[in-house]
Amino acid sequence: MSTQDSNGGPARVIPNWESCIDCGACEVACQRTWDLPPESDRIQVVAIEHGTDNETNKPMQCYNCAEAPCIDVCPTEALHYTDNGSVRVSGDKCIGCHYCGVGCPFGAPQFPDGEVPEAQESEPLGARGNGLMDKCTTCEPRQENDLEPACSSECPTDALLFGTPEELSEKLDEDNVSTPFNEESAQIIFGDDADEVMGD
């Protein structure tokens, strides 16, 4: 397991879509770990091609993109990169304008009305609720204790992979599955490391 201090780019959680069984364990793990309200969507299992014979369910959350569109469109610089390359939101700068929600191609930004307990800490990892932006933090405090993010740690089918681009590539190869991203999405998420994950 890698942490944010590993070489090869920041560690991220990505889905192995072929393994998701729509059990919702990732959603529960996230809410329980951070004492979030049930309606929290820092990670959510969404239906793709809903109502068709090809309908499948996929876990979706913030990928802490290397070329994050949310940062580009934020008018108050509330969104920024940390020293390790992850994307964070400063609750005291967010004005809840939703530009980040429009700019993100993955639906990651959330705007909860209720309080976000995690954000009450002295160094908030998210917004403070009340309609301000909140999103997955890749369980930064857990990583600091050498633990994987709660969602990937508790997924019963390994449908959520955690690691650096190099490690994610190795895991996808081991499972003999392709990356869930197209080239455009991979470039946004991994930047210069996109080829590492996409393979040949």
- pLDDT at site 127: 62
Q: pTM to 2 decimals?
A: 0.86
- Residues in the chain predicted with pLDDT less than 50, given as ranges, are 2-7
Half-sphere exposure of 79 (CA within 13 A, CB side): 32
Which three-class secondary structure state does DSSP give residue 58? strand
Looking at residue 92, its pLDDT comes to 82
- Domains delineated in the chain: 14-198 (3.30.70.20)
In the prediction, which pLDDT does 5 show? Answer: 44
Q: Which one, of 61, 79, 81, 83, lies nearest residue 70 by Cα?
A: 79
Q: Give the single-character DSSP code of 9.
A: S
Q: What is the reported pLDDT for 124?
A: 54
